[in-house]
């Protein structure tokens, strides 16, 4: 179990670190979503066989509600993911602080906050939906494409709603970007609620439709 927690922390660390280094500041690039989706893809391929490659408390919630993970393991997973993201955020602040870079999140009105919540909910739902169908369903057992599917889902979401919501799709990322000053506490609350809700709805739909094939007669 300890090894799995280390793998989850490492994967989340590199995800948040890549976000912090490519989204704002001297290293910012318009291709940030491609980098973010790609780092998630490679980390899923690197650790997926060992820990499941969640790197996201919302994904862990979805897998747990899918009954593929007990709560006694899910909670430590979530803690390890948030810890990895927090360490990455601190390192980003150190690196960018050494360059004199500074950036503050823009003020958001009520409409923008609602739009942020909707955007993050939709693509967290999509992400967990893809994870459950590509990595936990009987019909896709043994596949080798789940890393691509998961990484590209994040990339598409970052391009589609990143300018609106910030494109966290991950409570651990929400904590990380808040520590880095890329989001305020209000946005963090939205990330936590919208992302966990999106993951839960995806898992409930997956179970209701028996998309995993658990109840089918083969």
pLDDT tens-digit map of 42-101:
888 878 878 888 999 999 999 999 898 999 999 999 999 999 999 999 888 876 665 545
Domain encompassing residue 16: 2-208
Question: Does 195 score more than 90 pLDDT?
Answer: yes
Lookup: tokens for 191 = 């990330």
Among 16-25, 55-64, 149-158, 182-191, the least confident range: 16-25
168 is a domain residue = yes
Lookup: tokens for 144 = 């080798």
3-class DSSP assignment, residue 189 = helix
Q: Which residues of 97-131 are buried (b: 16+ CB within 10 A; e: fewer)?
A: eeeeeeeebeebeeeeeeebbebbbbbbbbbbbbb
Q: What is the CATH number of the domain that holds 162?
A: 1.20.1080.10
Among 19-28, 112-121, 156-165, 201-210, the least confident range: 19-28
At residue 97, the pLDDT reads 67
216 is a domain residue = no
21 is a domain residue = yes
44 is a domain residue = yes
Burial classification of residue 4, based on how many CB atoms lie within 10 Å of its CB (0-12 exposed, 13-18 middle, 19 or more buried): middle
In this predicted model, what pLDDT tens digit does every residue of 18-51 receive, in sequence order? 888 888 666 677 788 888 889 888 888 878 878 8
121 is a domain residue = yes
| Separation between Cα atoms, residue 45 and residue 55, nearest integer Å | 12
Number of domains in the chain: 1
| Separation between Cα atoms, residue 175 and residue 94, nearest integer Å | 17
DSSP 209: T
137 is a domain residue = yes
Among 38-42, 47-51, 172-176, 200-204, the least confident range: 47-51
Q: What is the CA radius of gyration of the chain?
A: 17
218 is a domain residue = no
Place of tokens 């890393």: 147
């Amino acid at each position: 179990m300890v090894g799995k927690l280390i793998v989850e922390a490492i994967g989340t660390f590199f995800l948040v670190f890549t976000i912090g280094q490519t989204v704002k500041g001297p290293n910012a690039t318009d291709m940030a979503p491609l980098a973010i989706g790609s780092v998630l893809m490679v980390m899923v391929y690197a650790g997926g066989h060992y820990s499941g490659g969640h790197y996201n408390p919302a994904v862990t919630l979805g897998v747990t509600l899918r009954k593929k993970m007990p709560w006694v393991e899910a909670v430590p997973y979530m803690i390890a993911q948030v810890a990895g993201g927090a360490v990455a955020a601190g390192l980003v602040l150190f690196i960018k602080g050494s360059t004199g870079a500074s950036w503050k999140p823009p003020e958001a009105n009520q409409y923008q906050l609602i739009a942020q919540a909707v955007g993050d909910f939709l693509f967290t739902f999509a992400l967990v939906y893809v994870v459950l169908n590509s990595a936990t369903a009987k019909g896709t057992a043994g596949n080798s494409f789940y890393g691509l599917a998961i990484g590209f889902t994040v990339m598409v979401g970052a391009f589609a709603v990143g300018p609106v919501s910030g494109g966290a799709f991950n409570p651990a990322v929400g904590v990380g970007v808040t520590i880095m000053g890329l989001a305020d506490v209000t946005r963090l609350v939205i990330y936590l609620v919208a992302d966990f809700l999106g993951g839960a709805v995806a898992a409930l739909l997956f179970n209701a439709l028996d998309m995993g094939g658990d109840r089918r007669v083969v």
